[in-house]
Amino acid sequence: MTFDTGTTGFMLLATSLVMLMTPGLAFFYGGLAGKRNILGIMIQSFVSMGITTILWFVCGYSLCFSGDSLGGIIGNLDKVFMNGVDLNSPFAGNTKLPEFVFMAYQMMFAIITPALITGAFVNRVTFKSYLIFLVLWQLLVYYPFAHMVWGGGLLAKWGVLDFAGGIVVHATAGFAALASVIYVGKRRDRESTPNSVPLIAIGTGLLWFGWYGFNAGSALDVNAITGLAFLNTDVAASFAAITWLAIEWYFVKKPKFVGLLTGSVAGLATITPAAGFVSLPAACLIGITAGAVCYVAVHMKNKMGWDDALDVWGVHGIGGCLGTILLGVFASKGMNAAGADGLLYGGSGFLLKQVVAVIAACIYAFIFTYLMLILINMITPVKVSENDEDKGLDDSLHGEKAYDEGVL
């Protein structure tokens, strides 16, 4: 079968961009971490690239995108080890595209999603327990929601929309992060400051750049919707970054670079579910709302005493939920005929579906993550010893240091 070279080429580029987001996340988290835990947090992102790829090839792709099981909650095992998929197999959603390419593109989403969670429990979790968590969390949380929303499963049939991962990626990861924080408890040293703001900036730049593949690539074609998703992504991130900067400047009397960077990521996470379904003015409003709401969420988290070290819940969890709900407000079939009409266009029923779906996803991810950590702790300790935490995980768990301090 002959495939469209333009569409195939674009999707390979988008796949590469999403792949780059995981190293970008590692740099972002690595810069935010204390100097004794840089490698400990970065390896958790990079190891997902290896473990998740293996798992995706073995059964992940099949469980997400092959048939229906358990009433549409999960896929089946018809395509384990890519069974039945060859060079001539088209992607069912767009026959111009080889299924191999779609498989690779979706694999990159599976890689980064559990890695997002790691910022919450930096310098508190053993590497062995994290590896078990990485596998179980995908099997029990990510794969079901990827199937239900993107694989033609239960939520898709009900009419729930998620363009690029507000529910599937950010809401589930954010509330899994909150469950993890509550389970492992607080850090012994909560005064740990970011070791490298330039590293945070590099990570943010890579994430923002990769997010164009994340959102625009989710059109799974090359057309006007692709361009809409691309532009909405940039606009929302920009408005959110400046909103966060302005709010923080007002309260702390100084413009904070880390705040600007964090605000941009909040905007990126929030526009993700809506990128290809809303107008450009709506994306501006979503960005402004993201900057304000996620800023408040982070400060509420601090007041509650939740030691979400790198603000995964406040930025990704709340951002994903907010974007999913705002999609229910601003979505328009005039922008994307394959979408729906939100509340502003008479679609109150669609808004209700979005709200119910994202609340269910958050509750499910929270409960399953907490129970999973209890189970893992029966196999191997989840939390590091006090001595290892005080020493830093780079040295105590990995026997390495990020920098040779003798030559600095």
Which helix (H) or strand (E) element contains residue 90? Answer: strand 90-91
Backbone angles phi, psi at 329, to 5 degrees: -95, -50
Are 309 and 265 within 8 A, CB to CB? Answer: no
Residue whose C-alpha is closest to residue 290's, from 308, 273, 302:
273
Residue whose C-alpha is closest to residue 310's, from 172, 171, 120:
120
pLDDT reading at 327 higher than 90: yes
pLDDT tens, position by position, 348-376:
999 999 999 999 999 999 999 999 999 99
pLDDT tens, position by position, 281-325:
999 999 999 999 999 999 999 899 899 999 999 999 999 999 999
In the chain, where the domains are located: 5-82+97-384
Does the reported pTM lie above 0.85? yes
pLDDT tens, position by position, 225-243:
999 999 999 999 999 999 9
5-82+97-384 CATH: 1.10.3430.10
Task: Output the CA angle 242-246-249, nearest 5 degrees.
Answer: 135
The single residue listed with the structure tokens 């603000």 is 311
163: DSSP letter: S
Task: Output the CA angle 215-39-118, nearest 5 degrees.
Answer: 45
User: What mean pLDDT comes out for the span 36-64?
Assistant: 97
pLDDT tens, position by position, 154-196:
999 999 999 999 999 999 999 999 999 999 999 887 777 899 9
Compute how many other C-beta atoms are within 10 angstroms of the C-beta atom of residue 47: 16
Residue whose C-alpha is closest to residue 27's, from 19, 14, 38, 17:
38
Are 152 and 343 within 8 A, CB to CB? Answer: no
Rounded Cα distance between 281 and 292, Å, is 17
Tokens of 63: 């469980």
